[in-house]
Amino acid sequence: MQWETVGEGVRRQIMGYDGQLMLVKVHFQKGSVGSMHEHYHSQVTYVVSGKFELTIGDEKRIIGAGDGYYVAPDVLHGCVCLEEGILIDTFSPMRQDFLK
């Protein structure tokens, strides 16, 4: 699928999916924000490159290339990009809301 702009300095590309699983590449420019949000999907993310200030629930940490994290369903989370980078998000079940 084609890249899609989803926020200022943030774009995503759906890499593949079925009804149970979705893989998404997300590119962040330095200073861009992944707004705080929550969803009923389980999420696992791998940091390909860059540096991010990540917030999951009440916990905040700095993550970089090679790191990964898990977000349980319905937990508030978001990030601020400190150095331009790419995240690989995996969702279960797939994110129907990402499809047009």
Q: What is the CATH number of the domain that holds 35?
A: 2.60.120.10
Residues written for the chain: 100
- 16-58 pLDDT, tens per residue? 999 999 999 999 999 999 999 999 999 999 999 999 999 999 9
pLDDT of residue 100: 77
The parent domain of residue 83 ranges over 4-95
Q: What is the pLDDT at residue 32?
A: 98
Can you give 30-86 as a three-state secondary structure string? CCCEEEEECCCCEEEEEEEEEEEEEEECCEEEEEECCCEEEECCCCCEEEEEEEEEE
Contact 55, 79 (CB under 8 A): yes
pLDDT, residue 69, reads 98
**Does 75 fall in a domain?**
yes
Mean pLDDT of 4-22: 97
Examine residue 100 and state whether it is found in any structural domain, yes or no. Answer: no
Residue 69 has a CB neighbour count (10 Å cut-off) of: 18
Domain count, the chain: 1
Q: What is the mean pLDDT of residues 88-100?
A: 95
pLDDT of residue 86: 98
pTM score above 0.85: yes
